[in-house]
């Protein structure tokens, strides 16, 4: 079974500052990793994914994440945030195989960008 | 990626009643999933909706409470039966991405409030 821990429930930051949202996971098998964003009163939108290959993955809206297998982490970063990045961010894992599509989500991190 | 329409987007229901949520996809998809997001919580997989056979439920979810239909490759319904206030949640439909993409696309969700 997999589990996901998002280490910060809330992250306040000022506009144009850098931000890192932390995610650790545990799994006995290789996993696929995802970050989703949920804007107020909207569904989930995929930010980026790690399936294989380069450990640094780039997503939409200037976000990137680095897969670190030894530390079982997949932290999300953005060098300069905007007010419009205010949202809740979810880290998720998928063990693939027969578990394909069965995402295990973290508890979410609410990112609030202040002017 | 697929476009998902969910109905209703929100509803207020009375205790003891049942409500059916519809999920319509604009293209044929292999996998369809139903997730629940309780207030202030992360997303939890309820079941996999299988076309032509019974849904596969995750631990803690049963068919009598959450009957699911999947009559074809573009449509599914989730019924929340005999509702109680604890069923107040956002229910999200999701589908697999393009072949081999290992990515889920989510609908905007159906926000149910049970009084």
Cα–Cα distance, A8 to B32 (Å, whole number): 30
How many residues comprise chain B? 115
Residue B36 pLDDT: 96
Tell me the percentage of chain A whose pLDDT exceeds 90. Answer: 70
Residue A82 pLDDT: 97
Pick the residue from chain B with its C-alpha nearest to A89.
Answer: B42
Measure in Å the smallest separation between the Cα of B84 and chain A Cα atoms.
22
The rounded average pLDDT for each run of 10 residues, N- to C-terminus, in chain B (115 residues) is 91 97 93 92 92 90 96 96 96 78 84 96
Residue B114 pLDDT: 97
Nearest CA to A25 among A67, A87, A88, A78? A67
Q: Please tell me which of the candidates B43, B96, B103 has its beta carbon nearest to residue A49.
A: B103
Residue B98 pLDDT: 58
> Residue with structure tokens 């909706």?
B49
Tell me the HSE value of B69 on the side-chain side, using a 13 A CA sphere: 9
Residue B102 contacts A, CB cutoff 8 Å: yes
pLDDT tens string A77-109:
999 999 999 999 999 998 776 667 788 999 999
Cα–Cα distance, A40 to A97 (Å, whole number): 33
Mutate to test the interface with A, among B5, B102, B107, B113 (most CBs of A within 10 A): B102
**Cβ neighbours of residue B17 under 8 Å, at least 6 residues apart?**
B82, B83
Residue B101 pLDDT: 59
Cα–Cα distance, A49 to A31 (Å, whole number): 11
Q: Please tell me which of the candidates A42, A90, A101 has its beta carbon nearest to residue B31.
A: A101
């Amino acid at each position: 079974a997999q589990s996901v821990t998002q280490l910060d429930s809330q992250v306040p930051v000022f506009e144009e500052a850098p931000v890192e949202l932390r995610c650790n996971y545990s799994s006995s098998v290789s996993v696929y990793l995802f970050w989703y964003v949920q804007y107020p009163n909207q569904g989930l939108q995929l930010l980026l994914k790690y399936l294989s290959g380069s450990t640094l993955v780039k997503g939409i809206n200037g976000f990137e994440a680095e897969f670190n297998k030894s530390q079982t982490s997949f932290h999300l970063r953005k060098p300069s945030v905007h007010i419009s990045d205010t949202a809740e961010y979810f880290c998720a894992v998928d063990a693939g195989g027969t578990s394909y599509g069965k995402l295990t989500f973290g508890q979410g991190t609410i990112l609030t960008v202040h002017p | 990626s697929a476009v998902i329409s969910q109905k209703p987007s929100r509803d207020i229901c009375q205790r003891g009643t049942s409500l059916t949520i519809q999920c319509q996809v604009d293209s044929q998809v292999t996998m369809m999933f139903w997730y629940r997001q309780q207030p202030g919580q992360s997303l939890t997989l309820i079941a996999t909706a299988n076309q032509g056979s019974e849904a596969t439920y995750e631990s803690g979810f049963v068919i009598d409470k959450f009957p699911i239909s999947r009559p074809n490759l573009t449509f599914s319904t989730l019924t929340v039966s005999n509702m109680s206030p604890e069923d107040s949640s956002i229910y999200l439909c999701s589908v697999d991405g393009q072949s081999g993409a290992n990515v889920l696309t989510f609908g905007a969700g159906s926000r149910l409030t049970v009084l």
